[in-house]
Structure 1
Amino acid sequence: MQREMRPGALLDDRGRLIEPGWAKSEVRQYQRAAVAAHPLRIKEWDYYCVLTPDHGIALTVADNGYLGFLGVSWMDFRRRKASNGGAAVRWPMGRMAMPESADHGDIVQSHDGLSLAFRHEPGGRRLTIDAPRFRGGLGLSGELWLDQPPMDRMVIATPFAGAPKAFYYNQKINCLAASGEIRIGDQRARFDPGSAFGVLDWGRGVWTYRNTWYWGSASGLVDGRRVGFNIGYGFGDTSAASENMLFVDGVAHKLDRVTFHMPPGAPDSGVWRFSSNDGRFTMIMQPIVNRHHATNLGLFKTAQDQVFGLFSGEVRLDDGTALSIRDLPGFAEEVRNRW
């Protein structure tokens, strides 16, 4: 069953999800003040990932209740290397003032020598980074512009069985053509809109303590058309909707269930395969590099394997049209959290 949500508030007066389901725009309004759970349990984040065939960058600002985080990751696909940097924020519990909408409200944060700004401007988004301590003082800085014309996105509201105050409201905006420059030490990396595309992962919710998710995303040009997809599963009660969706020239095409078939060894040791129960998504991903990150602070523990690679396969649109994809840059990940 794939239930499309109607416009309205996200939560009722008891802080419970009114309507689980999916949408192609921000039809439900999130308000932190309406959440009934303790502030320690609220998780809010904005995550951007921008990829080219040669390199990529990922930026995170997250308020996870008892721990906040600013993150910067750089991927060099030619050298098959990934580097992580970040700054922790103790006990933010809402002090990071994360916007209640993916469509307005800026994020400007600076902690422990790392500064990130995500700003809305007419026609798109501007990302600014200054991380002088990145990679042992080599430093990373720059600015990217993400073009966002009117287009569909993946929106989903997911409840958690047995936890009535828990929910996850998520938006994924694919196919954001990127332009700008990132400086790493004395090296400069260009992002050109013909070959650089980003995705925004906007998440707000109350999570259960232990969970695992699988997520995949890719965006780029296929025969001159903007093509992307979002796939994922692993947590919550998804009986009302999955988060699987294709995008072609700004139009969403809803998929049902997608399954990840990971290689038996290390996450980047072999080809990842993907299948769907509706037969509309058949894909492989050839790994390039695994961005591994693990943190164990007792109460808070995370283990992340985000494998970047090239997707090839075939998808079918809502009208049955087949679309072949070859070497589309993207990633697939397995994340295990105790938070």
Structure 2
Amino acid sequence: MSDHEITEPVPLTDDRGRLNPASIGWARQQLHDTDGVGRGCYGWGRTKRWEYWGIVTPTHIFALTIGGLDYANVRQVWVLERATLTAIDAFEISPLGRGLSMTGTHGAGVNTSRGRTIDLRFEDSDAGTRLLARTPRVQVEVLAETRPGHEAMGLASPHSRFLVDYTVKDVDRPTTGTITIDGVRHDASGFAVLDHARSRGPYRTDWNWGAAVGEVDGKRIGINLGGGGPDGLRNGISHTGVTIDGRVHKIPTVLEWEFDPSNWMAPWRMTTDRMELTFTPFYDRYARTNLLLIRSTTHQCFGVFTGRVQTDEGEWLTIDGLEGWAEDVHNRW
């Protein structure tokens, strides 16, 4: 499979939910119509709809998740206070689609998830995405801004004629707003990263993923680190790229990951012919779930990146002190 750029609108699937071969590749704008994901009886139980927002500010790191599977849905609000490295975690799971409403295609409206103690609402508009969350201890009111000309990688990578992954990796979304913890309000100015998925995939999924944002020589840099699969790609397509002042520079080659599973706080290395990065963690977010059909093990480490990346024009940019995360995930769902 080639790392083909999609430049015209295209449906991801046909009317019966089968993969449209013309959709395979990546786009720098939202050109894939994913409304057909989940149609047809083949592969029921394999549909996965996902909205994950990771937000980094000088005082806090927090993550908001809405996830919809055919047989269950999950919602989560996780917050880390950076000064003390104290975490707050609120998680719920509900059967089938109870309390859940998700768009078929990215940017098409509102995604909501309501449970017993957690409410989440993500509203898309021309100005950006308004992120609203409420738990007994945490309240989030944040706008993840979309600046004129901003690009994000949309990627369609197939497993078979019927099973296909579609994700959007949208890095470097400036944030404004507040996060309130136990009644104390904090400024939430920083950056947000979106991991959006509309997929019908296999039961077992394993991957590495990372993101980082900051400024380099007056340029605004957002890095998306792709991985997963035995060949270092996601079903033949690289998920690695760099956004520079809002423009995507796609890296089609395999990203090699080096880390020590016996010591997650040791430095990580990520390299391709156009990227040489060292990641130094300061916090390991470990999560393990075992709920019959749903099983997951995650090490998501937060830290600082140094090294260099190369633009499409061949210029090397030095990376020094960009904040972000890198993760190792093993899911059965």
Contact 1:118 1:126 in 2 (8 A): yes
Q: Deviations over 1:128-166 (max 9, x none)?
A: 11101xxxxxx0113011110131111110111xx4311
- Between the aligned partners of 1:299 and 1:87, the Cα distance in structure 2 is 15
- Cα offsets for 1:196-242 (capped at 9, x unmatched): 11011110111101120110111222333221011112149746521
* Structure 2 counterpart of 1:265: 262
Q: Distance in 1 between matches of 2:234 and 2:145?
A: 31
Give CA-to-partner distance per residue, 1:75-116, whole Å, 9 cap, x none: 2233233332111111228x7231122222102322012111
Which amino acid counterpart does residue 106 of structure 2 have in structure 1? A
Select 1:10's aligned residue among 9, 12, 15: 12
Q: Residues 139-154 of structure 1 correspond to what in structure 2 (within 5 A)?
A: 139-149=137-147, 150-154=149-153
* Cα distance change on mapping 1:321 and 1:75 into 2, 3 Å: same
- SS of the aligned residue for 2:45 comes to helix
C-alpha contact (below 8 Å) 2:221/2:242 kept by paired residues: yes
Distance 1:155 1:174 in 2: 12
5 Å-filtered alignment, 1:281-292, equals 281-292=275-286
Contact 1:71/1:85 (8 A) holds in 2: yes
1:316-335 to 2 correspondence within 5 Å? 316-335=310-329
The partner residue of 1:127 within 127, 131, 153 is 131
TM-score by length of 1: 0.90
- Indicate yes or no: 2:254 matched with 1:243: no
Identity, % of aligned positions: 30
Does 171-180 or 71-80 show the bigger shift?
71-80
Q: Which runs of 5+ in 2 are unaligned?
A: none
Q: Give the aligned residue type for 2:95.
A: R
Pair 1:253 & 2:249 matched: yes
How far did 1:290 drift? Answer: 1.1
The separation in 1 between residues aligned to 2:97 and 2:235, in whole angstroms, is 33
Question: Are the equivalent residues in 1 in contact too, given 2:38–2:200 (CA < 8 A)?
Answer: no
Decide whether the 8 Å contact of 1:80 with 1:288 is kept in 2: no
2:271 counterpart of 1:275 = yes
CA contact (8 A) 2:66 2:112 kept: no
Return 320-329 or 2-11, whichever deviates more.
2-11
- Stretch moving more, 204-213 or 14-23: 14-23
8 Å CA contact 2:38–2:47 kept in 1: the answer is no
Query: Unmatched 5+ residue regions in structure 1?
Result: 133-138
- RMSD of equivalent CA atoms: 1.9
- Scaled by the length of structure 2, the TM-score of the pair is 0.91
Residue type of the alignment partner of 1:78: A
Letter in 2 for 1:12: D
1:297 paired with 2:288, answer no
**Which residue, out of 311, 320, 325, partners 2:305?**
311
Determine which of 66, 73, 95 is the counterpart of 2:71.
66
